[in-house]
Each structure stands twice: as structure tokens, then as C-alpha cells.
A = this chain, B = another copy of it.
Amino acid sequence: MARAINFRQVPSPLKASCHQCSLSNLCLPLAIQDNDLDSLEDIVQQGRIYNRGEHIFDQSTPFRSCFAVKSGSVKTSIITEGGEEQVTGFFMPGELVGLDSMSGESYACTAKALERTSVCEFPVDKLEELTGKLPELQHHMYHLMSQEIQNSHQLAMLLSKNTAEERIASLLLSLSSRFQRRRMSPTNFSLPMARNDIANFLGLAVETVSRVFTRFQNQGIIKARGREVELLDIEALQMVTRDFSRQGCQQ
């Protein structure tokens, strides 16, 4: 590692190298100048690696840090007192988990690795200190949080207005574009999450998700075998999502 000798930070976590990270154009480094990158590296900690199903944090964990997904993927969900789960998001490499928890003492949700996953950890006290010094980084944080609000509003819209088919088409397209951002195939990918998680996230029953998948498959729009998915006709998927308001909007 380049700047090898750094101050012994007592907890002695490994320092991550943002300079060398392939996700630096997606993650927090995106926002800041090269010469400020060092100060970001000073506060980021190389997180550990989580196996599928392991919790990164849950609603009883005291809130300390946000986490950037480095590889793998993460599911966040709220668990109610009654034990019911509501999946609130899926996070892929380059995306930041924990922004919904920056109020209150504990995390506002539970984060679980969907597969073998590695993360970088940003302790919030240090992060807030740093964003106070770097206006572009502060701006970027506002940007990310605002985006998160918008995403959640979009989800609410999907849940309240759209049919099962529309919801699933939307999710597939969202995943597709997020794979594309990472320079991976937007049409051939493997779903990081189980049908159950998809169903929960989209407010559907598993059976419905399964049925829609096979319906799409019969229509030749997608090809799906288990978690492997191929989008055969992206335009058709977009058709499905657009509420064809032409005819909805009479006159």
C-alpha cells in the first residue's frame, strides 16, 4: 500500500485505499478532488468480509458508521415489534448503506449481506467532521441522502399505484441500470436476492412474483433460471412500467 506508515489509529483497523479502488467513480471519492482524497482515506476503515446471511448491523446496534458496499450486495429491512419484515432497499457495490440512520442512537434498519460481501466503513463522527471541511463532500452527502428520499418516494408510488407486473418490471430495469453503471452487462446478470426478498420489497406475495416471472418468460420478455436473468426485450419492459397514460388519460 502506498502511504504505508500512518499514525497508529488505536483500534488499528486496516485503512482502505480509495486511490486504488475501482469504485472511486461511484462511491464518496466521486465528489472530491484528488488532493483531498487522502483525508477521506484517513477516516475510512477497511470493513470485514461478511458471508451470505450475516448481519452488518441491526436495529439494536448503536449507530456509528455508514458502510459503502465494495463487493457483493446488501439488503436493508425494517423489522417490526411483531417480527414482520419490510425490505427497504438493496445495495450494490459503490452504494452507501446507513443514511437512513443518521438520526437516533441505533440503526433504523437491519443490514444483511445477500452474498459474500465486503464493505468500507465510514465512522460518522469523523465523516461529519470531514464534510464540515470539504464543501463538495458535504454537498455530495446531501445529494446522496436526497436521492435516497427520492428512491423511497418512487417505491411508495410503485406500491400504491402499480400492478405486480409493473413493479417487477421496474425492479428489473433498476437493477439493469445499476449493473450497467458498473460496466457489467445490463441484460445478463444474476439477481443477488431471493424471490422472497423481491416479493417483500415490492409488497407482493412470493407466489405472485413467481407467476409474473413465468408470464414475462412466456411473453419472451425475459429468460430466467433461478437467479440468473436475461432481459431479452428491454423496451417491452419499459412499456410495462410506463402506465400507458395515453389511454388512461381520456380526452
Contacts and interface: CB of A to CB of B under 8 A. Distances in A.
Interface of A: 78, 80-84, 86, 88, 99-104, 108-109, 128-129, 131-133, 135, 138-139, 141-150, 152-157, 159-161, 200, 202-203, 242-245, 248-249
A229 B139 CA distance: 42
A36 to B, nearest CB: 14
B157 A78 contact: yes
A105 to B, nearest CB: 12
8 contacts: A78-B153, A82-B248, A86-B153, A100-B150, A103-B146, A131-B138, A145-B146, A152-B155
Given A146-B108, A146-B145, A159-B159, A245 B132 contact: no
A231 to B, nearest CB: 22
A103 B147 contact: yes
A82 B157 CA distance: 13
B242 A82 contact: yes
A203 B200 CA distance: 17
A86 B149 contact: no
Contacts of A150: 100, 103, 108
A129 B132 CA distance: 9
A135 B142 contact: no
Contacts of A146: 99-104, 108, 145
A161 B86 contact: yes
Chain B CB count within 10 A is highest, among A142, A144, A155, A245, for A142
B153 A84 contact: no
Nearest to A86: B157
Contacts of A102: 142-143, 145-146
Nearest to A137: B132
Closest 4 CB pairs of A and B: A82-B245, A160-B203, A152-B152, A102-B146
Given A86-B157, A161-B203, A128 B142 contact: yes
A159 B152 CA distance: 12
Given A128-B135, A135-B132, A142-B102, A83 B156 contact: no
B131 A243 contact: no
A160 B249 CA distance: 26
Contacts of A243: 80, 82, 84
